[in-house]
Amino acid sequence: MPKETNMILGTAHFIKTVEDVFEAMVNSVPGIRFGLAFCESSGECLVRVEGTDEELKKASAENMLKLGCGHSFLVFLRNAYPINVLNALKNVPEVCTIHAATANPLEVVIAETEHGRGILGVVDGSKPKGIEDEEGIKWRKDILRKFGYKR
């Protein structure tokens, strides 16, 4: 995962996904920097690539080639957070599932059969270390206001 990026991992059902996800991204956040890769699971079975940032396009393509799960897509993004684009992505007709939207380290649990590979789920970040206290509540509320999501 490139530094200072967030990622969105999902499953979709058609090659049209590449252009429709691209449009959803650029229409959601002016100046967004992202790379999008989609694993085509029929025909040529290529990793299809789009985006507005060459480094992120390359990183998404390389990661999706390693992942190799049909009809899945990966977006690495900068100058925006997943929360800024998730609703637009969920409204893309081809998008079936969003598995993760995170800046955390991500592990993808994969099943492989003689037909191909598929995403079973994800491990997003670390397990909890406890329950928030008053200081934790204050930090959570402060950071949301710092980012401009709450007043």
Q: How confident is the model at residue 149 (pLDDT cuts 50, 70, 90)?
A: confident
Are residues 70 and 17 in contact, defined by beta-carbon separation less than 8 angstroms?
A: no
pTM of the model: 0.91
Query: What's the pLDDT score for residue 92?
Result: 97
Biggest CA-to-CA distance, the chain = 56
Distance CA 137, CA 130 (A): 13
- Is residue 7 scored above 90 in pLDDT? yes
Percent of the chain predicted with pLDDT > 90:
91
Asked if 23 and 90 touch (Cβ cutoff 8 Å), the reply is no
Q: Enter the tokens of residue 129.
A: 């270390």
CATH of domain 6-146: 3.40.1520.10
The residues spanned by each domain of the chain are: 6-146
- Are 37 and 12 in contact by the 8 Å Cβ rule? The answer is no
H helices of the chain, in order, are 17-28, 54-67, 82-90, 134-146
